[in-house]
Amino acid sequence: MAEVVFEPRNIVVTGGCGFIGSNFVRWVARNHPEVHVTVLDKLTYAGNPANIAGLPESQVELVVGDICDADLLDEVVPGHDAIVHYAAESHNDNSIADPEPFVQTNVVGTYRLLQAARRYGIRYHHISTDEVYGDLALDEPRRFEPDDPYRPSSPYSSTKASSDLLVRAWARTYGLAATISNCSNNYGPYQHVEKFIPRQVTNILCGIRPKLYGTGENVRDWIHTEDHSRAVWDILTKGRIGETYLIGADGERSNIDVLREILSLMGEPQDAFDWVRDRPGHDRRYAIDPTKLERELGWRPVHTDFAEGLAQTIEWYRTHESWWRPAKEATERRYAEQGQ
């Protein structure tokens, strides 16, 4: 069973201006007003301070900086009781084109944070991905479990696997109070337009035909970002030190089925998209078994109707064009250069 509940009062959230990180910051601000959040974000192309705009300044503070900067961490971390580490380079296509930023941020950056958490004796929670486990066959009944071997297949997932292993080593060797969560594909508001669902949605809104890799049969396990945020909080406050928890919502769907659902919800014909060449080493199927999280911490997903959650997400992008429009042109230009 879970340990005594940990009640943080001052937390550092790295990457808190990114998609999943900002949704977590908003969730904490809404559900735990007694908790102060220091957002540490480098504000790369995927980090947008507008993602946390409107939150109480007395509760949420933004520090612009690099997690690889050890001196900065010595300024920011003291006085906090936990680090929740979301910051990462996370786009597979970008990692294939240039792995260097992924090694720096995902591996070196994690090392710097672990050292800071160790120096100041504070709790550390590490956000990771199901992609570290590689992929499953399309017709395979099993799902990823926490103790499965790591078989990453892209530069991105390899660097995330590396960072996970660093966390495990620091927990065992130095006794760092650390936990890890590996989550399936997130969807919801504030996701950058380079990602699968927002790219398709914003293409349609722009009058551009959506693009689909390969045969579209690749399967992803989808979870609403709000359910992810709730799970992370449960793991941070109730999870067993040194343990890994998998976060999933039984949301397996093929890419082509997701695209067709988007087309249907947006009033477009089912064939109103273009096929593009497949991504090198494209993983076939991800699937998460969240039994450990559910059994130990009592977590359950709330957003279990994917079509409803997708419709709400589409509506968010429809009504927040000023948020995504500035990044759209550069994103599509980059994809075009990659032939995608």
By annotation, the residues acting in catalysis are 130-131, 156
- Report CA torsion sign: 80, 86, 191, 40: positive
- What gap in Å lies between CA 307 and CA 274, rounded to an integer? 23
CA 275 to chain centre: 26
The answer to whether the Cα torsion of 274, 279, 285, 290 is positive or negative is negative
DSSP 33-99: TT-EEEEEE---TT--GGGGTTS-TTTEEEEE--TT-HHHHHHHSTT-SEEEE------HHHHHH--
State which H helix or E strand residue 230 sits in: helix 225-238
**Are 253 and 190 a contacting pair, CB within 8 Å?**
no
Tokens of 339: 């032939």
**Helix residue ranges per DSSP H, 92-195:** 92-97, 100-102, 109-120, 155-174
Amino acid occupying residue 122: I
Separation between Cα atoms, residue 155 and residue 97, nearest integer Å? 9
